[in-house]
């Protein structure tokens, strides 16, 4: 990153005017000795060369004069030249020389603490120069404590999780550096400091008020994680109704900064506010980005709306993304849907058999019609219909006697007309058969009818699932029930 001092030097360059004679004199004086006068001459001549953008060779050559000026003790241009050589801006990239210049600027400069960050990185990485962990951490520490947010950020990442070969995890140092970084406007540092102050990690005193301040500052600096965790903090420590808009706004900003947990959080708040249509929009954005919380939120809204198939679709995706509760729900839904399919098939069969009965009655085959009603459908409705049709046709005697015994208990309380006919026929049969005492009964195969086909388990699942989701969104549920919880990443 190009620092403010870089722009300052460019402004200085733009106002420098030196005669040709002075230029030649500075060039000679630069190499004539090792005093401050010689260093200043090197600096002046280096500036002239650096401004000559029409000749790239002169721009490269200017670095030699800045380096000599730095070595002679004029530190003003150490960091400037080191930055250019570190990044390879306008000049040949040379991180070996850059390290020497930057480390010198860090140790002696009065305002160039970004040089501490760059030289610290080179020492830690050990790519351009020999790796030196102690030197690297020292340079970064100096940069962080003197206002360089990038140095703070690197130290936070190093000590937060522990960086193999550099340092072990140290949460106390992590929070210390994160606090400094936040003061110097490093959004990531604000987020880390806020996280540990909010949770009270081992060795860290929990301080919700300080955590909120750090997270608020991080969110202002466009740290998506800060915005997200700020909403989580507000949810856990305040009445939801009092801070719901702030929670929603912070989640929404996190989402807009491409943290999709924030999209799911926005949907969660909108659903609790009973704004389900808007909740679906934000949940969908999260789910489309493979966020489990977003998919689960969609599943719950559609379940509450009794749209079981759509709810199952989003539950399956949440399951695939690792949510076991959604996997269990999918199994329950699949069982329920299987029973619905079987029930629909059963109804179709009932309709088909009822049509067959109608056809048999038209053909006058009352015995076959009764056989279908009793033995194939086990339907009191259809059996009563056959009895009445046969009675009206004056063909009741065509019904085999065995059916009247079967129907005797079917019409105890309902179907009184059909029941009266059955009882009449049974009395006649019993009177004629009393001498022989030969009463035959055939019990039809039990079959489920339309009123009892759905199992109690399936019916209970549907009612419980609907009520569970209805309670969660309409009655408010648990304000701390945030799907994705606290957010912590590297």
Q: Which of 142, 170, 199 is the last residue of a domain?
A: 142
| pLDDT tens figures, 140-172 | 999 999 999 999 999 999 998 887 677 888 899
Mean of pLDDT values over 31-44:
90
Three-state secondary structure along the chain? Answer: CCCHHHHHHHHHHHHCCCCHHHHHHHHHHHCCCCCHHHHHHHHHHHHHHHHCCCCHHHHHHHHHHHHHHHHCCCHHHHHHHHHHHHHCCCCCCCHHHHHHHHHHHHHHCCCCCHHHHHHHHHHHHCCCCCCCHHHHHHHHHHHHHCCCHHHHHHHHHHHHHCECCCECCCHHHHHHHHHHHHHCCCHHHHHHHHHHHHHCCCCCCCCHHHHHHHHHHHHHCCCHHHHHHHHHHHHHHCCHHHHHHHHHHHHHHHHHCCCHHHHHHHHHHHHHCCCHHHHHHHHHHHHHCCCHHHHHHHHHHHHHCCCHHHHHHHHHHHHHCCCHHHHHHHHHHHHHHHHHHHHHHHHHHHHHHHHHHHHHHHHCCHHHHHHHHHHHCCCHHHHHHHHHHHHHCCCHHHCCHHHHHHHCCCCCCCCHHHHHHHHHHHHHHHHHHCCCCCCCCCCCCCCCCCCCCCCHHHHHHHHHHHHHHHHHHHCCCCCCCCCCCCCCCC
The last residue of a domain, from among 142, 165, 198: 142
Gap between the Cα atoms of 279 and 304, Å rounded: 13
* 333 Cβ contact list (under 8 Å, min separation 6): 308, 311, 312, 315
Residue 149 lies in a domain: no
Look at 352-366, 381-395, 408-422 and tell me which has the smallest mean pLDDT: 408-422
Is residue 164 included in any domain, yes or no? no
Q: In this predicted structure, what is the pLDDT of residue 75?
A: 83
**What are the φ/ψ torsions at residue 309 (nearest 5 degrees)?**
-65, -45
Q: What are phi and psi of 119, to 5 degrees?
A: -70, -35
Helices 114-125 & 78-87 angle (0-180, nearest 10): 50
CA distance 302 to 463: 14
Tokens of 388: 């009445």
Judged against a pLDDT cut of 50, whether residue 312 lies above it is answered with: yes
Q: What is the pLDDT of residue 234?
A: 95
Q: What is the pLDDT of residues 127-140, one digit of tens each?
A: 788 999 999 999 99
- Residue 410 confidence (pLDDT) above 90: no
In angstroms, rounded to a whole number, what is the distance separating the alpha carbons of residues 425 and 433? 12
The distance from CA 467 to its chain's CA centroid, rounded to whole angstroms, is 25
Question: Would residue 153 count as lying in a domain?
Answer: no
**Residue 184 in contact with residue 201, Cβ under 8 Å?**
no
pLDDT in tens, 3-12: 444 444 443 4
Is 448 inside a domain boundary? no
Range of the domain at 417: 346-433
Which of 107, 142, 177 is at the close of a domain?
142
In the predicted structure, residue 99 carries a pLDDT above the cut 80? yes
CATH value at residue 18:
1.25.40
Looking at the predicted structure, is the pLDDT value of residue 124 above 50?
A: yes
Q: How far apart are CA 299 and CA 302, in angstroms?
A: 5
Q: Is residue 393 part of a domain?
A: yes
Distance (Å, whole) CA 163 – CA 168: 6
- Mean pLDDT for 410-426 is 85
How many domains is the chain built from?
2
Phi and psi, residue 445, nearest 5°: -65, 125
Q: Is residue 317 part of a domain?
A: no
Q: What is the pLDDT of residues 313-340, one digit of tens each?
A: 999 999 999 999 999 999 999 998 899 8
> To 5 degrees, how large is the angle CA 464–CA 466–CA 468?
65
pLDDT value at residue 13: 44
Strand-pair partners of 167: 163
What is the C-alpha separation between 270 and 285, in angstroms, rounded? 14
Question: What is the C-alpha separation between 484 and 263, in angstroms, rounded?
Answer: 11
Is residue 165 situated within a structural domain? no
- Over range 3-28, report the average pLDDT: 56
Name which of 455, 472, 468 is nearest 329 in CA terms: 468
Residue 351, domain member (yes or no): yes
pLDDT digits (tens, 9 = 90+) for 186-195: 999 999 999 9
Mean pLDDT of 442-459: 41
Taking residues 292-309, report their average pLDDT.
95
Higher pLDDT pick, 17 / 396:
396
Rounded Cα gap, residues 164 and 169, in angstroms: 9
């Amino acid at each position: 990153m190009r620092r403010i001092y870089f722009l300052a030097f460019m402004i200085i360059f733009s106002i420098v005017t030196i005669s040709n004679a002075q230029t030649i004199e500075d060039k000679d004086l630069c190499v004539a000795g090792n005093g401050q006068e010689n260093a200043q001459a090197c600096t002046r001549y280096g500036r002239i060369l650096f401004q000559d953008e029409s000749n790239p060779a002169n721009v490269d050559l200017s670095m030699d004069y800045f380096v000599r000026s730095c070595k002679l003790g004029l530190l003003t241009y150490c960091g400037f030249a080191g930055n250019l050589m570190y990044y390879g801006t306008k000049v040949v990239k040379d991180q070996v020389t850059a390290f020497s210049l930057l480390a010198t600027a860090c140790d002696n400069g009065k305002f160039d603490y970004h040089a501490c960050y760059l030289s610290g990185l080179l020492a830690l990485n050990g790519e351009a120069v020999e790796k030196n962990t102690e030197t690297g951490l020292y340079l970064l520490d100096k940069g962080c404590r003197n206002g360089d947010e990038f140095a703070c950020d690197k130290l936070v990442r190093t000590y937060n999780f522990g960086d193999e070969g550099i340092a072990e995890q140290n949460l106390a140092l992590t929070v210390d550096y994160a606090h400094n970084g936040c003061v110097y406007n490093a959004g990531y540092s604000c987020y880390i400091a806020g996280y540990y102050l909010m949770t009270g990690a081992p060795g860290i005193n929990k301080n919700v008020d300080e955590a909120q301040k750090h997270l608020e500052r991080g969110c202002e600096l466009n740290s998506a994680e800060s915005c997200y965790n700020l909403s989580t903090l507000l949810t856990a420590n305040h009445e939801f109704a009092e801070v719901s808009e702030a929670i929603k706004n912070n989640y929404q900003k996190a989402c807009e900064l491409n943290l999709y947990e924030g999209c799911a959080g926005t949907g969660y708040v909108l659903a609790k506010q009973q704004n389900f249509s808007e909740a679906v929009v934000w949940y969908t954005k999260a789910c489309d980005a493979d966020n489990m919380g977003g998919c689960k939120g969609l599943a719950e809204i559609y379940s509450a709306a009794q749209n079981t198939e759509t709810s199952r679709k989003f539950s399956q995706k949440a399951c695939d993304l690792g949510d076991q509760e959604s996997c269990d729900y999918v199994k329950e839904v699949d069982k329920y849907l299987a029973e619905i399919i079987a029930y629909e098939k059963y109804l179709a069969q009932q309709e088909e058999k009822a049509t067959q009965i109608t056809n048999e009655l038209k053909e006058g085959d009352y015995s076959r019609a009764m056989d279908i009603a009793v033995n194939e459908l086990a339907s009191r409705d259809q059996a009563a219909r056959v009895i009445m049709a046969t009675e009206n046709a004056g063909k009741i005697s065509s019904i085999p006697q065995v059916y009247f015994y079967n129907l005797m208990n079917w019409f105890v309380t309902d179907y009184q007309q059909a029941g009266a006919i059955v009882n009449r026929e049974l009395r006649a049969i019993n009177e004629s058969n009393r001498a022989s005492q030969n009463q035959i009964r055939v019990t039809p195969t039990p079959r489920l009818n339309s009123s009892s086909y759905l199992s109690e388990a399936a019916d209970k699942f549907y009612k419980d699932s609907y009520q569970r989701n209805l309670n969660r969104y309409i009655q408010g549920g648990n304000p701390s029930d945030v799907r994705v919880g606290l957010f912590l990443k590297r």
